Structure 1
Amino acid sequence: MRRALTAVLVAGTLTGPAAAPAQAQEYRYWSFWNGGGKDGSWAYATQGPATLRPADGAVEGFRFTVGADSAAAGKPRAAADFDAVCGRTPAKDGRKRIGIVLDFGTAADAPDGERPPKARTACAQVPEDASAGEALAAVARPLRYDSHALLCGIAGYPESGCADQVKDPDRGSGSGSRSSSAGSGDGNTRKADDAHGAGGGPSAGLLGGGAAVLVLGAAAGWQARRRRG
């Protein structure tokens, strides 16, 4: 299934709401969100962090979640409040400030044997042309990728696994305890820079928002058709 997942991802950017059939397979993954304005709300990203180049004053959120569609994906539980995250970081010429909100999810959503770290925020001060992914790399290393350049871990969490199927569909917060969003999103796969290189960061590789589920669903459908064939 991983081969099919990668093939779908590299074929192009996906956008649009993710719809899943009843009792669809759930996956455990990092979702990507954009701050929605002065009210501190969140919206699914419409670009992946590799291509999104937020302006100074933006807030970007990453939430480790379990879901089968965009409506079930958990959004960051902290508000998208730039002043709270970056208010003490002075502006600098040639740099921009991006608020980063990391929500490692709930204990119920954690992989077996792991416990999610406490949620945290950081103010990334990066070059003016930096992507959201580069801002993430500036404040949340180590980032972990799989062999297909999918971003699997942020700040070392989780220690293993990458967009894994959840074996027990009742496990986690997929039955309504997570916050939900009806938005859309997309993901990218090709990693142009080594996330651990000097001054580098992920220019691609993160499954973002609802498209993560769209892609995963496409891969699952391909696998099912292959079994029937």
Structure 2
Amino acid sequence: MTAVRRAVLLLVAAVALCAVAVPAQAVGYRYWSFWERDGSRWTYATQGPSTARPADGSVEGFRFAVSEDSADASQPRGTADFGSICGSTDAVAGKKRVALVVDFGTTADAPSGERPPARRTACAVVAADATTAEALAAVAKPLRYDANALLCAIAGYPGKGCGEAMTADGTSGGGGGPSVGLLAGAGVVVVLAAGAFWQARRRKNA
């Protein structure tokens, strides 16, 4: 094998290694979105459930799905009004009633090996200053959060994962990105291949 040919093969290998090192483009995230009922429609909540403090008579919703951001997030499905959810629950002095809609999403959005439970509603009777998270905990345990207080699971669903990035082929892209070692290795191969190619050209032309 000539020196020029060896150098070309090294360059091809370097390009292939760099291509492997580049992560697939994420097209969305699989997570629980939080919604507030405004009359007859849902609006994407402007704060998290751990800080939102709904008033008595509020309707709050959660939907598990894959979406890029709030602009294309999937809303909780089905009808939702305070009367149908909390109408049979008596008011309690010093407490408030919060109607909750929990939509576990579709099979297509479920993590591998998991099946979404049926949509459910519940009327939480909680302290007057309770947050939405506290109301949810009263009727849909167990809840799971990550280290950044992101809501990962409601009623134990899903059993694993938390806001992971999803790729175009519908698989989890993870959150770590490409290996630093892999990228560094690819860079070394490129440098060596370029040097070998240059030296081979010099020998041929000498």
TM-score by structure 2 length?
Answer: 0.69
SS at match of 2:149: coil
Determine the structure 1 residue equivalent to 2:124.
Answer: 124
Q: Contact 2:26/2:166 (CA < 8 Å) preserved in 1? A: no
Shift, 1:128, TM fit? 0.4
Runs of 4+ in structure 1 over 3 Å off: none
Shift, 1:52, TM fit? 1.1
**Counterpart check, 1:138 vs 2:127:** no
SS at match of 1:166: strand
TM-aligned CA distance change 1:116 to 1:50, over 3 Å: same
Structure holding more strand per residue: 2
Q: Contact 1:60/1:98 (CA < 8 Å) preserved in 2? A: yes
> What stretches of structure 2 of length at least 5 have no aligned partner?
1-24, 185-206
Q: Distance in 1 between matches of 2:128 and 2:103?
A: 25
The alignment-based identity, stated in percent, is 60
Q: Distance in 1 between matches of 2:151 and 2:77?
A: 21
1:182-228 Cα shifts (integer Å, max 9, x gaps): xxxxxxxxxxxxxxxxxxxxxxxxxxxxxxxxxxxxxx8x969x979
Shift, 1:51, TM fit? 1.3
Shift, 1:171, TM fit? 3.7
Determine the structure 1 residue equivalent to 2:163.
Answer: 163
Q: Distance in 2 between matches of 1:125 and 1:110?
A: 30
Q: Contact 1:142/1:155 (CA < 8 Å) preserved in 2? A: yes
Q: Distance in 1 between matches of 2:70 and 2:95?
A: 33
Q: Distance in 2 between matches of 1:65 and 1:125?
A: 27
SS at match of 1:25: strand
Q: Count residues in correspondence.
A: 156
1:44-83 Cα shifts (integer Å, max 9, x gaps): 0012111111111000000001011222211100233101
Matched to 2:145, the amino acid is Y
1:16-65 Cα shifts (integer Å, max 9, x gaps): xxxxxxx753110000000011x2x1000012111111111000000001
**Counterpart check, 1:46 vs 2:10:** no
Q: Distance in 2 between matches of 1:100 and 1:140?
A: 10
Q: Equivalent residues in 2 for 1:146-225 (5 A)?
A: 146-167=146-167, 169-171=168-170
Taking only aligned residues, the RMSD between alpha carbons, in angstroms, comes to 2.5
Q: Contact 1:60/1:80 (CA < 8 Å) preserved in 2? A: no
Pair member with larger Rg: 2
Matched to 1:144, the amino acid is R
Matched to 2:165, the amino acid is Q
Determine the structure 2 residue equivalent to 1:73.
Answer: 73
Structure holding more helix per residue: 2
Shift, 1:170, TM fit? 4.9
Determine the structure 2 residue equivalent to 1:98.
Answer: 98
Matched to 1:76, the amino acid is P
Matched to 1:111, the amino acid is P
Determine the structure 1 residue equivalent to 2:31.
Answer: 29
Matched to 2:34, the amino acid is F
